[in-house]
Amino acid sequence: MNDRLARLASQRKLPFVVTGHGTIPIRDRFFKIKRVYDSFIGEWQLNHASGFIAVSQSEKVGMKKFGLPESKIEVISNGIPTIQATEPGKFRKEWNIESDKRIVLFLGRITEQKGIQFVVKAFQPLGEQSVLVIAGNDMGYENQIRKLIQDLKLETRVVRTGILDDEEKAMAFTDADVTVYPAHDEAFGLVPAESILCGTPVIVCDNSGFAEFIKKSGGGEIVSWGDVSGLGKAIQTCFDHGKDLKEMEKIKDLLMEQHNWGNVAKKTAEFYEERLSRKN
């Protein structure tokens, strides 16, 4: 459908804009399919597009490295979903996690790119009073993670939930002590945004889009990709600091202010108008 619309716009000499949302260049999802698509369709769209929208400075850097002209790239941040903290204790009760256990939450696709393997390794020395919750769908990497958990003798300290619906996600974020999302080259990252909206600090990778928000506004820790020791220290820092509800409420307000859909829509419309006026 995107290609049909783009070609129709081109035939009518109308400029069109491409928003990658982390798919320029290719990431881990549907890698082979995406490469075939790019060869026959995607490359034409990129060559004929009048402009490109990146959801973060990090994605803009990736687009430039991919060969897209900087003059055609506009950074317009992602809007954030509506999610609210639930009554504390619901997730613990559902999954039989004791109230005195600290919860490290990983929520996302089970892939190498998301960094779950580093989370498991960093979690191992934290001690028996901590529980690792892994929530998300397997993208072909779960067997390796299961073996890693077995090798590190963590079976009794890891809870695997599978995919969570919106209500269950809110329950998990609310009860977690920290959400760990060290995804590599993530264009933005809705998971850390949702975690902060539920009052729980996050840990993200330094080359992810959401790290830009953390650097300016707080709300968690930033680590380098693959730095297991650094990740373990960051988790411990979040444990030691605890949940400062007043502080997290301020950060939540900043997040909602900077990433509300009204501002996103306004900036997007302005970029469309600017590109339309150029007609190139």
Sheet-wide strand order for 17-19: 17-19, 51-54, 73-75
Look at residue 68 in the predicted model and tell me its pLDDT. Answer: 87
111, part of any domain? yes
Q: 6 with 114, same domain?
A: no
Q: 128 with 248, same domain?
A: yes
84, part of any domain? no
Contact, 105 vs 238, CB < 8 A? no
10-residue mean pLDDT profile of the chain (280 residues): values are 66 75 54 42 72 84 85 87 91 96 96 96 95 95 96 97 96 98 87 95 93 92 96 96 91 90 91 78
Q: 157 with 182, same domain?
A: yes
Look at residue 160 in the predicted model and tell me its pLDDT. Answer: 97
85, part of any domain? no
107, part of any domain? yes
Alpha helices in 23-100 (DSSP H): 31-37, 43-48, 57-66, 90-94
Q: 119 with 31, same domain?
A: no
Specify the CATH number for the domain of residue 8. Answer: 3.40.50.2000
Domain extent, residue 49, equals: 2-79+260-278
Residues in CB range of 93: below 8 A, 6 or more apart: none
Phi, psi torsion values for 162, nearest 5 degrees: 75, -160
Residues in CB range of 108: below 8 A, 6 or more apart: 114, 116, 135, 136, 181, 183, 191
Look at residue 32 in the predicted model and tell me its pLDDT. Answer: 44
The CA distance from 61 to 218, in Å, is 23
Which run of H or of E encompasses 103?
Answer: strand 102-107
Q: 104 with 71, same domain?
A: no
CA 231 to chain CA centroid, nearest Å:
17
Q: 56 with 8, same domain?
A: yes
7, part of any domain? yes
39-58: pLDDT as tens digits: 444 577 777 788 888 888 88
* Amino acid type, 73: I
Look at residue 29 in the predicted model and tell me its pLDDT. Answer: 47
Single out the residue of 182, 200, 179, 195 nearest to residue 132, CA to CA.
179
Q: 253 with 265, same domain?
A: no
Single out the residue of 61, 70, 71 nearest to residue 22, CA to CA.
61
167, part of any domain? yes
Look at residue 187 in the predicted model and tell me its pLDDT. Answer: 83
3-state helix, strand, coil in the chain (%, to 5): 50, 15, 35
Q: Write the burial class of residue 133 (CB in 10 Å: 0-12 exposed, 13-18 middle, 19+ buried).
A: buried
DSSP assignments along 251-273, one per residue: HHHHHHHHT-HHHHHHHHHHHHH
Q: 51 with 170, same domain?
A: no
Residues in CB range of 159: below 8 A, 6 or more apart: 95, 97, 131, 132, 133, 134
Q: 177 with 191, same domain?
A: yes
Q: 22 with 115, same domain?
A: no
Q: 57 with 104, same domain?
A: no
- For CA atoms 141, 142, 145, 146, the dihedral sign is negative
Other C-beta atoms within 10 Å of 130: how many?
Answer: 19
For the chain, what is the domain count?
2
Contact, 133 vs 103, CB < 8 A? yes
Q: 68 with 118, same domain?
A: no
The CA distance from 78 to 187, in Å, is 10
